[in-house]
Structure 1
Amino acid sequence: MKNKLKDNTLVSRIIPSQPPVEVESDVHVVKSRLEWGKPAFTILDVRDRLTYNQGHIMGAIPVPIDELRAIVSTFLDENRDIYVYGINEGQTAQAAQILRSDGFKNVSELKGGFAAWKAIGGLTEGVIESKVTHN
């Protein structure tokens, strides 16, 4: 037990803990975390799979909102930082509320969603995105 405590102390000195995520986050915050390699967060895209496949934030995990409650708890820790975005602000807020009510502590609504991400030049992928960037 003593070695485990010592290891955790060493890790916390090497990788400082992140401040808690805000209820809402600007896309610049998430882009900065990605660019600086700040660990331990997940981006969830709760739009339908067809929309997700057309284009999404690179690395975002697709979990349609109607499947959110059943799927997310099977692969995410309740203390993980989660940034969520949907088709609009209403869907994003609904998804965040579902996650919070299921015990996830660090959930942030990504303001402006995919459109805001694209507007700041964030990395994207998907069927339409690959056509746009390669033409």
Structure 2
Amino acid sequence: MDNIKDNKLVENIIPSQPPIEQQSDAHVLKSRLEWGEPAFTILDVRDRNTYNEGHIMGAMAMPLDQLVERATPSLAKSRDIYVYGATDEETAQAAQQLRSAGFEHVSELRGGLPAWKAIGGPTEGIIESQTPPGAGDYNVVSRVKEHIETQQKDV
């Protein structure tokens, strides 16, 4: 009996996240990362070589042709998943595969990696590591200033 009461108490203290949109722009994802929001996964469905060259920091590589068989055992069906591919069409195809496999909260990241890079989102990979860090990588004041500037960019 106490366990049920404790769970209800926790539910009231920790607000549940609003459901994610079917499509998201890079600003939405970047703000979730910057404010440390938990419990979401970023999936890159491009081929492995392209992923290795550069991808959104923290994104998991799950090539489109293996997506469902790799995602199903490793991700909870209720987890927030942001997915992107080489094109918006590939992204939409990946999102549809995940939704058909029973994943409930899948959002297509419109514009993919180029849109992410356009607003200064952190990246990693062979080619990306050759890009010098921005001022925001080193101090909070610069990061806030960059955040305000990128919020005003259209992607």
Q: TM-score, normalised by structure 2?
A: 0.82
1:3–1:52 distance in 2 versus 1, CA, 3 Å: farther
Higher relative contact order (CA 8 A, sep 6+): 1
Q: CA deviation at 1:6?
A: 3.0
The aligned residue for residue 94 of structure 1 is 93
Cα deviation, 1:33-84, whole Å, max 9, x if unaligned, reads: 1111111110000000100000000000000000101110011111000000
The aligned residue for residue 47 of structure 2 is 48
Counterpart Cα distance in 2 of 1:4 and 1:125: 43
Cα deviation, 1:60-117, whole Å, max 9, x if unaligned, reads: 0000000101110011111000000000011000000000000001000001111100
Range with bigger deviation, 121-130 or 13-22: 13-22
- Match of 2:82, SS state, is strand
- Match of 1:22, SS state, is coil
The aligned residue for residue 7 of structure 2 is 8
Structure 1, gaps ≥5 residues long: none
- Match of 2:46, SS state, is coil
Aligned length: 133
1:7–1:126 distance in 2 versus 1, CA, 3 Å: farther
Aligned-residue CA RMSD in angstroms?
Answer: 1.2
Q: TM-score, normalised by structure 1?
A: 0.93
Instruction: Give % identity.
Output: 64
1:9–1:101 distance in 2 versus 1, CA, 3 Å: same
